[in-house]
Amino acid sequence: MWYFTPYALAPGLAFVVALVVIALIWPKREQALARALLALVIATAIWSLGNALETSNTNFTAKWHLIQFQYIGIILVPFAWLAFAMLYTGRNHLLTWQIFALPAALQSVSLLAMFTNDWHYFFVPPFTLMYDAEHGLHYMAGGFGPLWYMHAAISYGLTLFGTLLVLTALPRAAHTYRVQTFALLMGVAMPWIASILYVTGRSPIPRLDPTPIAFAISSLAFMVSITRYHMLDLVPTARGTVIAHMDDAVVVLDAKRRIVDANPAALRLVGRTLDDVLGRKVADFLPGHERLAEQFRDVETVATELSLDRGSGTEYYDLRITPINDRHGRLTGRVVVLHDIRHQKQNEAELRKAKEAAEAANRAKSAFLANMSHELRTPLNAIIGYSELLEEELHDIGQAELVPDLQRITKAGQHLLTLINDVLDLAKVEAGRMELEIEALDPLPVLQEVMATVEPMMRQNGNTLMLDIEGAPGMLWADATRLRQILLNLLSNAAKFTERGHVRLHVARTSCDQQITFAVIDSGIGMNEEQLANLFQPFSQADSSTTRRYGGTGLGLVITRSFCLMMGGTIDVQSKPDQGSTFTVSLPAVVG
C-alpha cells in the first residue's frame, strides 16, 4: 500500500513547517487574531498531511479516504482566512454569525456530499486509480460534480473577500506592516494559484495537485511574519485605530514631502478629503502659509510652537516633525503632528494675568507697610520708653513689687517691636524701598557688639559662644547695619535652637581678599531635607512643632537672605537632624 515518491516530500514538508508555525502561535492563543491564524494553519496542516499520505499510497480505498480527509482542511481554510483578515484589518464588526451562516451551511452540505459521494456522485464522479510509469506515480483520475463547483465558488469567494480586505489596508500601512501584509498575501495566494492551475489542467506537475506544495511556501511566509516581523504583536489596525481617533492632526509625508496619509483630525483642519490631499505637496495642505512650510522644508526633526491666522483668529499649535528611516538609515518620509494648544495658551494668559494681579497686590501691600513704618514703630517705642521710666520711678518711690509687671510690659513691647521690624524690613525689600548705606568699616567692632548682644540668649539655654577669626579680617566696604542684622539673626537662631551645646562664629577672608565669610556653626536640633527646602520661605519655619516650641515668625532668614543678595553675597546652609546646622554668609569685600 505504501511506497516512496519524491512528490510526497513537498506536502510532507508543508505539514512539518505548519507544525512549527502552530508551535509559534500557540503561546499567543489568548489573542483572537492568533486563534484565527491558528485555525488557518491547522487546516493547512490537515490538507498537507492528507495529500502527502494520499500521494504515497497505492490502494484505491485508502487514497479515497485520504482525499475525503483532505477536504476537512480544504473547506476550513477559506473560513479561517476570512476571519483572520477581518481581525487583522480591524473589521471586527464583520466577524458575525450572519456573515458566515450561509457559506457555512452550504459548505456543510459540500462536506456531507463528499463523505457520501459513493451513494450519489454529486460531489465528484467515480475516481479511477491510475499509474504513471514515466513519473512512478499512483494517482486518482476523475472529474468534478455540481456540488464540487458550489464548494469551489464559495471557497474562492471567501478567499477573495479576505484578500481584498488585506489589500485595502496595504496602501496606508507603515513599512513594517506592509512587509507583514505582503507576506500574508503571498502565503494565501500561492496555494490558491496552485489550486486554480490544477483545476484548469495547467498544473506544472502532471497528474498531481500542487496546492499542498504551495502550502509549504505559505507556511514559511507565515513563519517569517511571526518571527521576523512580529505579526501577532504589531497589527496595523491598532495603529490605524489610534491615529484615526486622535485629536491631534497627523500627516505622513514621503521623501519628496508629498502627502501619503492624513488622519481625520488633519483633514478637518483644512476642510478637505483624503483624496483631495493625497500626493500633493505639504505646502498645499496649508494654503496661505507656504512660507511656514518652506521654513521646515529641510529640517528632519522639529519640536516647536507655531501660530496660524486662519481668518477666525490666531490658532496655536505644538508642531512635531519626526523622520521616518528605513533599515539602512535612509530617509523615507516624515510624520507631522499638530497638537492644538489654544486652550493651553488661554490658560497661560489667565495665569499670567492672575500672577501679575497678585504681584501688583503684593507690591501695594509692601508699599503700604513700608510707608506705615513710622506710624507703627512710634507708638511701640513710646510704650517701651514710658514703661522703662515708670520702672525707674517705682524704684525711687519704694514700690518695687510693681516692677515685674512693668518689666513684662517692656519685654512684650520689645518682642512686638522686633516682629514689626521684621515685617517692615521684608516689606521694604519687596517694595524696593530698602537702601544700603555703604561705608568703610572694620568688622571687629561689629563682631564684638553682636557677640555681646547675643551672649544673654546663649547663657539662657546653657550654650557656649565662641568667636573664631581666621587671620585678619581687614576692612570692608559694606552696610554695617545690615551686616549686624544678618549676624544677629543667625546667632539668635543658633541660640534658640541649641540647648546646652556650643555655637561658634567663624570669620575668614578668602583668597585674593575678594570675599569675607561668616559661618555660624551650632550643635542644635538640625534639619532634614524637607525642612531645608522651606527654610527661606516667608512666614515659614521648619515645621509647626518648631513654631509652637521655639516661637518666631519665620522672617529672620528671609530678611537675612535678602540683605545678603542686596550686598552681592550668598547664604548657604548645611544641616542634618540632631547634628546641628552651619549657615555660611559670603560677602564681597567691596559691596557695589
The set of cell numbers assigned to 98 is: 450572519
The answer on 189 and 58 residing in a single domain is: yes
Specify the CATH number for the domain of residue 282: 3.30.450.20
Give the CATH number for residue 168.
1.20.1070
176 with 99, same domain: the answer is yes
Query: Is position 518 within any domain?
Result: yes
Q: Which of 197, 232, 267 is the last residue of a domain?
A: 232
Work out how many domains the chain is built from and give that number. Answer: 4
Instruction: Assess whether 452 and 463 both reside in one domain.
Output: yes
Domain of residue 175: give its range.
Answer: 6-232
Residue 587 makes CB contacts below 8 A (sequence gap 6+) with 476, 478, 483, 515, 516, 517, 518, 564, 567, 568, 569
The answer as to whether 60 is a domain residue is yes
Task: Look at residue 106 and tell me whether its pLDDT is greater than 80.
Answer: yes
- Greater confidence, 237 or 381? 381
Cell 514689626, residue located: 420
Once rounded to an integer, what is the mean pLDDT over residues 467-475?
84
Shared domain check, 388 and 260: no
* 122 or 210, greater pLDDT: 122
User: Residues 425, 458: one domain?
Assistant: no
Is residue 104 one of the residues assigned to a domain?
Answer: yes
pTM exceeds 0.85, yes or no? no
What CATH number is associated with residue 470?
A: 3.30.565.10
pLDDT tens digits, one per residue of 19-29: 988 888 888 88
Mean pLDDT calculated for residue range 538-547: 53
Same domain for 317 and 356: no
Q: Are residues 465 and 564 in the same domain?
A: yes
Tens of pLDDT, residues 278-329: 777 776 666 555 566 666 666 667 777 777 766 666 778 888 888 877 666 7
Last residue of a domain, one of 187, 213, 232: 232
User: Highest mean pLDDT range out of 13-17, 520-524, 533-537?
Assistant: 520-524
Specify the residue for cell string 552651619.
582
Statement to judge: residues 286 and 313 lie in one domain: yes
Asked whether residue 1 is domain-assigned, the answer is no
Count of CB atoms situated within 10 Å of the CB of 93: 8
- Does residue 268 sit in the same domain as residue 224? no
Residue 12 in domain = yes
Q: What is the mean pLDDT of residues 203-208?
A: 67
- We report the CATH number of the domain holding residue 374 as 1.10.287
Among 305-319, 532-546, 551-565, the least confident range: 532-546
